[in-house]
Amino acid sequence: MVLPIDLLEVSLNRDISLLLKDGRILNGKLIGYDQYMNLVLDDAREEKEGGEKRLGRVVVRGSNVVSIAIV
Protein backbone atom coordinates (compact mmCIF):
# COMPACT_ATOMS: atom_id res chain seq x y z
CA MET A 1 0.00 0.00 0.00
CA VAL A 2 1.44 3.33 -1.13
CA LEU A 3 -0.25 6.30 0.48
CA PRO A 4 -0.56 9.27 -1.90
CA ILE A 5 1.35 11.49 0.52
CA ASP A 6 4.12 8.91 0.78
CA LEU A 7 4.55 8.90 -2.99
CA LEU A 8 5.03 12.67 -2.82
CA GLU A 9 7.61 12.24 -0.07
CA VAL A 10 9.74 9.80 -2.08
CA SER A 11 9.37 12.03 -5.15
CA LEU A 12 11.07 15.03 -3.54
CA ASN A 13 13.82 16.41 -5.78
CA ARG A 14 12.53 14.38 -8.69
CA ASP A 15 10.81 15.61 -11.85
CA ILE A 16 7.04 15.45 -11.86
CA SER A 17 4.38 16.32 -14.39
CA LEU A 18 1.15 17.93 -13.22
CA LEU A 19 -2.16 17.90 -15.01
CA LEU A 20 -4.26 20.86 -13.84
CA LYS A 21 -8.05 21.20 -13.90
CA ASP A 22 -7.96 23.69 -16.75
CA GLY A 23 -5.98 21.23 -18.88
CA ARG A 24 -2.57 22.87 -18.45
CA ILE A 25 0.45 20.65 -17.95
CA LEU A 26 3.22 21.82 -15.65
CA ASN A 27 6.56 20.06 -15.40
CA GLY A 28 9.24 20.69 -12.81
CA LYS A 29 11.18 19.36 -9.86
CA LEU A 30 9.12 18.74 -6.74
CA ILE A 31 10.77 20.45 -3.81
CA GLY A 32 7.90 20.64 -1.34
CA TYR A 33 4.26 19.97 -0.54
CA ASP A 34 1.80 20.18 2.35
CA GLN A 35 -1.16 18.13 3.58
CA TYR A 36 -3.54 19.86 1.09
CA MET A 37 -1.28 18.68 -1.75
CA ASN A 38 -0.23 22.24 -2.43
CA LEU A 39 3.05 21.71 -4.25
CA VAL A 40 6.28 23.63 -4.74
CA LEU A 41 8.04 23.12 -8.07
CA ASP A 42 11.48 24.29 -9.00
CA ASP A 43 12.36 25.13 -12.60
CA ALA A 44 8.69 24.82 -13.55
CA ARG A 45 7.73 24.82 -17.21
CA GLU A 46 4.25 24.99 -18.68
CA GLU A 47 3.77 22.89 -21.80
CA LYS A 48 2.65 25.05 -24.70
CA GLU A 49 1.99 24.29 -28.32
CA GLY A 50 5.33 24.55 -30.02
CA GLY A 51 7.38 24.88 -26.87
CA GLU A 52 7.22 25.65 -23.20
CA LYS A 53 6.96 28.69 -20.92
CA ARG A 54 9.49 28.88 -18.12
CA LEU A 55 7.94 29.81 -14.79
CA GLY A 56 10.79 29.35 -12.31
CA ARG A 57 9.82 28.47 -8.77
CA VAL A 58 6.08 28.12 -8.26
CA VAL A 59 3.49 27.17 -5.69
CA VAL A 60 0.64 25.16 -7.23
CA ARG A 61 -2.62 24.95 -5.31
CA GLY A 62 -3.59 21.35 -4.63
CA SER A 63 -7.25 22.06 -5.33
CA ASN A 64 -6.38 22.68 -9.00
CA VAL A 65 -4.37 19.52 -9.50
CA VAL A 66 -5.93 16.53 -11.26
CA SER A 67 -2.95 14.21 -11.27
CA ILE A 68 0.72 14.10 -10.42
CA ALA A 69 2.91 11.82 -12.50
CA ILE A 70 6.36 10.83 -11.32
CA VAL A 71 8.56 11.17 -14.36
C-alpha to C-alpha distance for 22 and 43, rounded to whole angstroms: 21
Q: Which of 25, 43, 52, 55 binds a copy of itself (CB under 8 A)?
A: 55
CB of 33 to a copy of itself, least distance (A): 7
2 binds a copy of itself, rule: CB under 8 A = yes
* Antiparallel, parallel or unpaired: β 65-70 and 39-48: unpaired
Distance of alpha carbon 44 from alpha carbon 47, whole angstroms: 10
Residue 47 interacts with a copy of itself (CB under 8 A)? no
Binding site for a copy of itself (CB under 8 A): 1-8, 12, 17, 20-24, 26, 31-34, 37-40, 44, 55-71
